[in-house]
Amino acid sequence: MLRRWSIRLLITVVVMAAIAVLAVAGWRAALDRYAGGWTHEPEDAAWVLPETAQDLIDDTFDHLDGAVVDHRVGLLTDGQLAAAAVDEGAQAGSEATPPGGPFDWARRVARRHAAGMGDGVFADAEYVSRLLRQIEAMPGDYRARVFARDAVYDAQGERDDAATTDFVANAYVVWLAERAPGRLVPVVSVHPAREDAAKALNQWAERGVTHVSWLPVAQRIDLDGQAAIAAYAAMAGEEMTLHTRVGHWESANGEKDTIDPAALKPALDAGVDVSVAIGDVDTAPGVDVMESLFALLRQPAYNAHLSVELGNALEAGRLTDVLPPLLQHPQFFDRMRYASAYPDPAWARAIDPARLADHDFIDPALVEPLRAIYDVNPLLFALVTLRNVRLPTTGLHFPASVFTHERDS
Cα–Cα distances in angstroms (integers) from residue 124 to residues 40, 79, 120, 137, in the given order: 20, 7, 9, 20
41 pLDDT above the threshold of 90 = yes
H or E element in which residue 88 lies: none
Return the CATH number of the domain spanning residue range 36-404: 3.20.20.140
- Mean pLDDT on 33-41: 75
Strands in 68-73's sheet, in edge-to-edge order, are 68-73, 142-147, 184-187
H or E element in which residue 9 lies: helix 2-30
Residue ranges of domains in the chain: 36-404
The pLDDT, as a whole number, for residue 80 is 81
Residue 70 DSSP SS3 = strand
Residue 328 DSSP SS3 = coil
The pLDDT, as a whole number, for residue 93 is 59
166 or 41, which is more confident? 41
Comparing 64-73, 111-120, 255-264, the range with the smallest average pLDDT is 111-120
Task: Write out pLDDT tens, residues 292-320.
Answer: 999 999 999 999 999 999 999 999 889 99
Tell me how far apart the alpha carbons of residues 124 and 75 are, in angstroms, rounded to a whole number.
9
Res. 284 pLDDT band, cuts 50 70 90: low
Contact between 146 and 186 under an 8 Å Cβ cutoff? The reply is: yes
The pLDDT, as a whole number, for residue 322 is 96
The pLDDT, as a whole number, for residue 10 is 47
The pLDDT, as a whole number, for residue 84 is 67
- Mean pLDDT on 115-144: 93
* CA–CA–CA angle 29, 33, 35 (5° rounding): 105
Four-residue CA torsion sign, 216, 219, 225, 231: negative
118 pLDDT above the threshold of 90 = no
Task: Write out pLDDT tens, residues 316-373.
Answer: 889 999 999 999 999 999 999 999 999 999 998 899 999 999 999 999 999 999 999 9
Beta-carbon contacts of 337 under 8 Å, excluding residues fewer than 6 positions away, are 69, 71, 275, 307, 308, 309, 310, 402, 405, 408
Q: Which amino acid is at 63?
A: H
5 pLDDT above the threshold of 90 = no
Q: β-strands 306-309, 336-337: how paired?
A: parallel
- Mean pLDDT on 226-242: 97
282 or 84, which is more confident? 282
H or E element in which residue 139 lies: none
